[in-house]
Amino acid sequence: RPEGCRAFLELDEEDDDDLCEALPGAPPGRTDAHRALGGAAAEVGSGDGDDVFMSYVSEVRESFKAGDSLATVVVPANDYRDITLEIVSKLLGSKLGGIYVTTSRPATHVVAEMKERKASLNDLYFVDMISLTVGGETGDPRTVFIDSPTMLESVLLNVGLLERRIKAKRHFVMFDSVNGLSIYSDTRMLKEFMNVLANTMRLRKTYTMMLTVAEQTPPELESVLVTLSDRMIRGETGDG
């Protein structure tokens, strides 16, 4: 059985112990490895779907370990919701804080789905780009509501404000759908936004993920994502 953070991150003896500090819930010597990112993937359901989830979690783990700032996660449409929620649940389960930028559905729906998974929501905050547009609920104190999905500069501003509320030493930011952003903004505007986002997060040393649905991502947009991302995650590494 793996022993502690170093085993979970697959660190060699010469690797820097500072990497373990990125997982405060799994300090050196901790044997409860399933609490670390990706450790509980085998507990979710059964069959081929588990292999898909484990592959994505494994790739996110490697990306985080490598110190990436911006990763694009390319997911199939059929598994989009489950993969998204699984990744977030595992990151929160490793006691990272998080900011979830929702461009595809109201934050209240995401919260309900996370609660069904019994995910820890104590240090998770939302930037909701949808609810004010569709007339959804806007009373959640953990959520910042954006007036319009076209206000991309407001998203970055509010992500910065929410980062001050996070209690964990390390945290992540997830944009749940590049495809959702592309509905309201053209490729040029998205490229400018993602360029600013990538460099801002590198300066802040914040791990950021951009999710995109494979079947709905045109070649021009994928080219932008490949250019700006430190890593493209496609769920193809097996058990890492």
Dihedral of alpha carbons 106, 225, 8, 20, sign:
negative
Q: Find the distance separating the first CA and the last CA of the chain, reported in whole Å.
A: 16
State yes or no: pLDDT of 240 exceeds 70: no
Predicted pLDDT of residue 183: 87
Backbone conformation region of residue 136, classed left if phi is above 0, alpha if psi is from -120 to 50, else beta: beta
26 and 11 in contact (C-beta within 8 Å)? Answer: no
Which alpha helices (H) appear in the chain, and where do they start and end? Answer: 4-8, 48-65, 80-93, 107-116, 131-134, 152-163, 178-184, 187-204, 219-228
Cα 197 to chain centroid, rounded: 14
| 1 has pLDDT over 50 | no
> Could you give phi then psi for residue 128, rounded to 5 degrees?
-105, 115
Minimum mean pLDDT range among 24-33, 58-67, 114-123: 24-33
Which residue would you say has higher pLDDT here, 97 or 139?
97
- Please give the Cα distance from 147 to 140 (Å, whole number): 15
Burial class (CB within 10 angstroms; exposed 0-12, middle 13-18, buried 19+) of 215: exposed
- For residue 34, what pLDDT is reported? 31
Residue 239 has pLDDT above 70, yes or no: no
Cα separation of 23 and 36, whole Å? 7
Tens-place pLDDT, residues 67-87: 999 999 999 999 999 999 999
Whole-number average pLDDT of the chain: 79
pLDDT of residue 121: 92
Region 167-190: mean pLDDT is 90
Q: What is the predicted pLDDT for the residue at 182?
A: 87
Amino acid 32 reads: D
Q: How far apart are CA 212 and CA 221, in angstroms?
A: 10
DSSP 186: -
Burial of 46 (0-12, 13-18, 19+ CB in 10 A): exposed
CB 36 within 8 A of CB 8: yes
> Tens digits of per-residue pLDDT, 78-136?
999 999 999 999 999 888 999 999 998 899 999 999 999 899 899 999 999 999 888 77
- Give the span between the Cα atoms of 51 and 38, in whole angstroms: 12
Question: According to the model, what pLDDT value does residue 229 have?
Answer: 92
- Please name every residue paired with 70 in a beta bridge, in sequence order, or none if there are none: 208
Instruction: Give the angle 211-76-52 at the CA atoms, nearest 5°.
Output: 95
- The answer, yes or no, to whether residue 36 has pLDDT greater than 50, is no
pLDDT value at 9 more than 50: no
